[in-house]
Amino acid sequence: MKPDCLAAVSFHRTMPGYAPTPLVPLPGLAGMLGIGSIWVKDESKRFGLNAFKVLGASYAMGKLAARRLGLDPDGFGFEDLRSGTLGDLTFATATDGNHGRAVAWTARRLGCQAVVYLPSATACARVKAVESEGAEAVMVEGTYDEAVRLAAKESSERGWI
């Protein structure tokens, strides 16, 4: 395994509640296709979020926070970041789905704030999912790209990550 992949796996193993997600056999589909077996990774069990997005979000957020704290960005654990030393750090992102919820979920567990920018056409259930993780949801008139631009602009102006 590549060193950067090993670092990500090591980091995720330090997260409270982390467990590998199960592989599920699909014998019917395998039979239809005339192959021996098909297995699918079931990410619906990941931290109760029903999505894999939290893996990428948490690791990216962890690396950025580690750099801010002067920690080795390839040799830190989740608890190193949860110690309260991040202060009033705010993470910001744009999304129209599960990524925003993953950022909010991770920020909450790090003791930080999250601001999630969503296009105005985002489904109400997705907005509520972001808010249920303690984040501020900012509705942006227009498209996802406009939400990205506003998130980047306000993050830069306010010193957010």
- Is residue 15 classed exposed, middle or buried when 0-12, 13-18 and 19+ CB atoms within 10 A define those classes? buried
CA atoms of 5 and 28, how far apart (whole Å): 33
pLDDT, one tens digit per residue, over 94-119 is: 998 889 999 999 999 999 999 999 99
Say if pTM beats, i.e. exceeds, 0.85: yes
| C-alpha dihedral sign at 89, 104, 145, 42 | positive
Residue 53, pLDDT above cutoff 90: no
From the candidates 41, 74, 80, 96, give the one annotated as an active-site residue: 96
Report residue 56 as tokens. 């990428």
For residue 83, what pLDDT is reported?
Answer: 63
| Dist CA 100 CA 147 (whole Å) | 12
Q: What span, in angstroms and rounded, lies between the C-alpha atoms of 145 and 147?
A: 5
Integer-rounded Cα Rg, in Å, for the chain is: 18
Cα–Cα distance for residue pair 126/129, rounded to 1 Å: 5
Looking at 4, 41, 45, 53, which residue is catalytic? Answer: 53
Please report, for the chain, the start and end positions of each structural domain, with discontinuous segments joined by +. Answer: 3-158
CATH architecture of 3-158: 3-Layer(aba) Sandwich (3.40)
Active site residue 153: no
88 tagged catalytic: no
